[in-house]
Structure 1
């Protein structure tokens, strides 16, 4: 490819999801020059098609410090990106559908007791009195009162827009065709003739980040997954909390306009960039929704959708410095749970770029854990 435009920048970012865009914003506020390259449109993949849950509850303990950092950013979202993103601190209620589920919720509460989530287990008549709109299948719940939900179709592009307003060069519909270490920095070829030289490179390419990592000698067992989502017509006020279920299968929330967003199960890939809902997953989702939310029986579903997410085997992200390439920093593999932590991931990536370390513990997310796993002989 013959270069028709050449740019030099402190930091090049591959991927315009919420993590990459938040990193661009944080880096600009640190005074660094930033070029963000997005193959499609910012916030249009996993960051924009997800359910919109803004929850700390249910995360593994190693993620909670990062999640708590993000929680603080969500509280000041209008000051950070200029919009509220329909963010509501509704609380997050995780339901138990069996005694085994309830025991699991109790064990989780005890395991994260020192992290400040303020979890409240609600059972028996108190549960029924507080949530009369839930079906009999739900027997108890764990409430994280300060969690909530937001509109990913507003928030994720909102970070990119704020980064652009702060001076970041945001290039959409500009796929990166080649990225390589070159001298003291990196050389990227992108779009239709763009050549970029950067001192640092952030790999925030979501479900496509594995190929970039592998090109630098750091393969990751990253697989694509496809959430199964639906939204109803506007309905009378029903859900006053963001709902999850122990063991998974379904989640739900209601927006201010009255539409109920529900999700669960997996869709099918159409190609590397697109997915559609799965028929069997839709049937299971609607059955579970009718059981848990009786008021939805007979409601009209106005849209189903899916998207492309990148999952790691341990469901933890890849976040940290490359082990093979100075100046390369990874931030991907959020396994369907990156929306809430995305703003904090952006700040962490910016700290790593400026300082080489983060003020938030991220040791559990290093890319080297996969190399260690591959080197361990099978039992």
Structure 2
């Protein structure tokens, strides 16, 4: 069976960025198709750690993070669920004096962004956060940060978009996309033809393939963050915790489970998928037990991994294509996209509606990766969609 959709905007990728953009656009009265090769929210958006933090982000991301920060408390009104969002505070630990100095430098650098960072020395830290073990010299605390359940939030935005009237196409990989005088023609799934004036490329770890088809290759790589969840425990910690310089991050949810991250999974033969390793899970739990004595005898009940897109400068690509009118990119969040995604959705809606964003996004332009590659604006995908080997075929202007 075949069908045809005529929409204002086609969004490739039903993760949290794409689905929040779809909801924001539809709320503004714009007709939208949200297209995913599998299930909305099933990739990076649904398998990440769930940290909702601004602390530690580079300064150029903070205006966007602040915009998103105002959205998270409104989840219930926006998508009908709270997503287990909790503004618990985010504690970033320093293992030595060099780490503490780095936290102090960062706090000074972002002092104009209203993060309300508090630098805490050794004695005060252990007095206030008695769950900490030995070996921590200090910390930086951001009281307004927190955490949420990514499985609920990512699918919640997609469900809210569907209820609002967005055409949600799941298990519908984009197999062809052509720029024409009126906009774009896409083929998705088995026999769905879509005509759209605007296309948003939010295809996550597969977005580089779509960008390259329009003459904009980017140095995107895939990463496979791995998580462990423990059995329900009595209260062990009451804040979202990370380490300066990385290594481990941990949060405890209301029902008592602790979610621990800090290792990478292993890609499978099909690099769209990955699996965690037993050695990685053991390393994460040992680190957690060393930092938090209350976890010394905790049982891990589940381990998982997922596929995310990473950029070499750790900043995403957000903004208009430099080669193709009507094409907008939003991908490459390097494992830190969960918190800012709802803000990115609003920015994308502004770009569609107004041609500009009220939030500065110049640092995220795809032009920073510009090369001498061909920049023809009319290209076609031939293949089975995101995650496959796509061969561009140039079409006439």
* TM bin (shorter chain): over 0.9
Runs (4+) off by over 4 Å: none
**What corresponds to 2:395 in structure 1?**
none
The alpha carbon displacement at 1:182 in A equals: 1.7
**What corresponds to 2:218 in structure 1?**
220
- What does 1:186-335 align with in structure 2 at a 5 Å threshold? 186-270=184-268, 271-335=270-334
- What does 1:134-149 align with in structure 2 at a 5 Å threshold? 134-149=132-147
**CA displacement, residues 297-325 of structure 1 (integer Å, 9 cap, x when unaligned):** 12110000000000000010000000000
How many angstroms apart in 2 are the aligned matches of 1:13 and 1:280? 38
The alpha carbon displacement at 1:281 in A equals: 2.4
Q: How many residues align?
A: 372
**What corresponds to 2:90 in structure 1?**
92
Q: Structure 1 stretches of 5 or more lacking a match?
A: 375-379
How many angstroms apart in 2 are the aligned matches of 1:103 and 1:283? 30
Q: Structure 2 stretches of 5 or more lacking a match?
A: 374-397
* 1:360 and 2:327 aligned: no
**What corresponds to 1:50 in structure 2?**
48
- What does 1:141-180 align with in structure 2 at a 5 Å threshold? 141-180=139-178
How many angstroms apart in 2 are the aligned matches of 1:103 and 1:373? 41
Q: Is the 8 A contact 2:172 2:189 kept in 1?
A: yes
* 1:112 and 2:135 aligned: no
How many angstroms apart in 2 are the aligned matches of 1:121 and 1:326? 47
SS class of match (1:141): strand
**What corresponds to 1:30 in structure 2?**
28
The alpha carbon displacement at 1:189 in A equals: 0.9
**CA displacement, residues 95-138 of structure 1 (integer Å, 9 cap, x when unaligned):** 00000000000000000000000000111221111111111022
Q: Check 1:202–1:268 CA distance in 2 against 1; reply closer, same or farther (3 A cut).
A: same
Q: Is the 8 A contact 2:238 2:252 kept in 1?
A: yes
How many angstroms apart in 2 are the aligned matches of 1:133 and 1:373? 54
**What corresponds to 1:18 in structure 2?**
16
How many angstroms apart in 1 are the aligned matches of 2:267 and 2:246? 21
**CA displacement, residues 242-280 of structure 1 (integer Å, 9 cap, x when unaligned):** 001000010000000000000012111112321111343
How many angstroms apart in 2 are the aligned matches of 1:204 and 1:141? 35
**What corresponds to 1:40 in structure 2?**
38
**CA displacement, residues 317-358 of structure 1 (integer Å, 9 cap, x when unaligned):** 000000000000000000000000000000001111111110
Q: Is the 8 A contact 2:186 2:193 kept in 1?
A: yes
The alpha carbon displacement at 1:284 in A equals: 2.3
The alpha carbon displacement at 1:55 in A equals: 0.2
**What corresponds to 1:184 in structure 2?**
182
SS class of match (2:124): helix
SS class of match (2:21): helix
Tell me the TM-score normalized by structure 1. Answer: 0.96
Match of residue 124, structure 2, among 123, 126, 131: 126
* CA RMSD, 1 decimal: 1.2
